[in-house]
Structure 1
Amino acid sequence: MTETQAPFRPKLPASFPGRLTTGYEAFRDGRYPTENERYKRLAAEGQKPQIMIIGCSDSRVSPEVIFDAGPGEIFVVRNVANIVPPYTPDGETHGTSAALEFAVMALNVRHIVVMGHGRCGGIMAALDSRDPLTPTDFIGKWVSVLDETAERVRCDHAIAPGLRYTALEHEAIKSSLKNLLAYPFVKTRVEAGALALHGAWFDVAEGELHVLDRDSGDFTVLSGTLAP
């Protein structure tokens, strides 16, 4: 750096986001007092969740909210379009694969749920990838994992044009479940009966959870009681 160059100092917001401040205050005044013993136990004993959920980063589909989960109950990793990438032990950094390895090998989870959702922007990017985001864009590269699946949906004339996004949302879940079995530590435990894999799709507009029937390949609404 020359004498005339000043060090780069990024301008940061003057204060922490107000929405997060008020939310934290509500947590400390409301939820935390009723669950402080659980937090203390989790701090002392560590986490032991039985379920891992691989969900989308979309702000409308928080697994903890949808499943009314308390602290320590589910291990969640979220990424664009809830993708499980292919097993690629190439020495590079792989965030979702690392979380999967930790959940299975260290936490010994018994269930892995791949959960997609309606109106997914990542799925839209994958289906429209003939003229997508720029070739050097992170999202374009990430959703290219779904290229073959998206092409099958495009070429399936039995699918009405207006239903293709939903069709790909469903097929992407199945693709990720298939990719999961390429991970040796997942496949071994599934074959031993120590780990079960599940697919689910959340309808944002209706608040309905659709669960994949692995035998039929169909998604059906999970029954639940709604207050009148």
Structure 2
Amino acid sequence: MTSFSDMMEGHARFRERLSDADIANWREQPKGQQPKVMVISCVDSRVAPEQLLDTKPGELFVMRNVANIVPPYAPDGRPHSVSSALEFAVTKLNVEELVVIGHQACGGVGACLSRVFANAEPGDGGLVNAWVKTLDPARERVVAKLGTDTGPEAQHALELEGVRESLGNLMTYPFVRERVEDGTLKLRGAWFGIGDARLHVANEQGEFQPA
């Protein structure tokens, strides 16, 4: 398990590996960011977008949350982490693509599927339950199709259907829909297989194929 001291040693190795080009790139970063792509992915420690997509600092605008969920648009004046990141990326940074990336063996998706925290209090899983319930419409579609809410097939199906649900929810944001419809913004879905380190990308029909 990585401790804080391990992290500091890792930072030292990171510094040692920096090339002149890397240093030059870092020196440019304080001037501002101009990423063309926003990635919405899971907080899972095994799935870091910058690593699996091999990007440099400043190339991706990343929002991570449990089960890579985009909730529906809700302009109710309450704090909204995902929505605020979306608003900033789309209307201020003018990103050209929004990519939702799900992954294999997602614990948040599993919690939605099994309802393991359905009766839990905040601090004991209740907060997780409240969040992953956003995927309930996707869960209902999976259970209706497969006839079960258990097993690896259902887990995998909901991981994919959850990405589709979030892509649909993105279109409930007026500033997203407007740009999608005028062709200045594209929405994409993907799923990462942890076991083989391969990304699968959704086509226009919503089917996932190896990249």
TM over 0.5: yes
Per the alignment, do residues 162 and 41 of structure 1 end up closer, same or farther by CA in structure 2, a change over 3 Å counting?
A: closer
Per the alignment, do residues 195 and 80 of structure 1 end up closer, same or farther by CA in structure 2, a change over 3 Å counting?
A: same
**2:164 maps to which residue?**
174
Rg bigger for which structure?
1
**1:154 maps to which residue?**
143
**1:101 maps to which residue?**
87
Per the alignment, do residues 130 and 68 of structure 1 end up closer, same or farther by CA in structure 2, a change over 3 Å counting?
A: closer
**Residue type of the alignment partner of 2:209:** T
Separation in 1, partners of 2:164, 2:197: 21
**2:51 maps to which residue?**
65
The secondary structure found in structure 1 opposite 2:18 is helix
**Highest RCO, 1 vs 2 (Cα 8 Å, sep ≥ 6):** 2
**2:111 maps to which residue?**
125
Greater fraction of residues in helix: 2
1:136-172, Cα deviation, whole Å (9 max, x unpaired)? 3210100010112112212223789430000000000
Correspondence 1:211 to 2:198? no
Quick one: which of 6, 12, 26 aligns to 2:13? Answer: 26
CA contact (8 A) 1:133 1:139 kept: no
* Structure 1 spans left out of the alignment, 5+ residues: 1-15, 223-228
CA contact (8 A) 2:117 2:129 kept: no
CA-CA distance at 1:133 after TM superposition: 6.1
The secondary structure found in structure 2 opposite 1:156 is helix
**Residue type of the alignment partner of 1:153:** V
Separation in 2, partners of 1:29, 1:131: 44
Q: What is the TM-score when the length of structure 1 is the normalising length?
A: 0.85
Separation in 1, partners of 2:89, 2:63: 10
* Structure 2 spans left out of the alignment, 5+ residues: none
The secondary structure found in structure 1 opposite 2:25 is helix
Separation in 1, partners of 2:103, 2:119: 21
The secondary structure found in structure 2 opposite 1:108 is coil
Separation in 2, partners of 1:168, 1:99: 24
Q: What is the TM-score when the length of structure 2 is the normalising length?
A: 0.92
1:44-85, Cα deviation, whole Å (9 max, x unpaired)? 2x1000000000000101000001000001110000000001
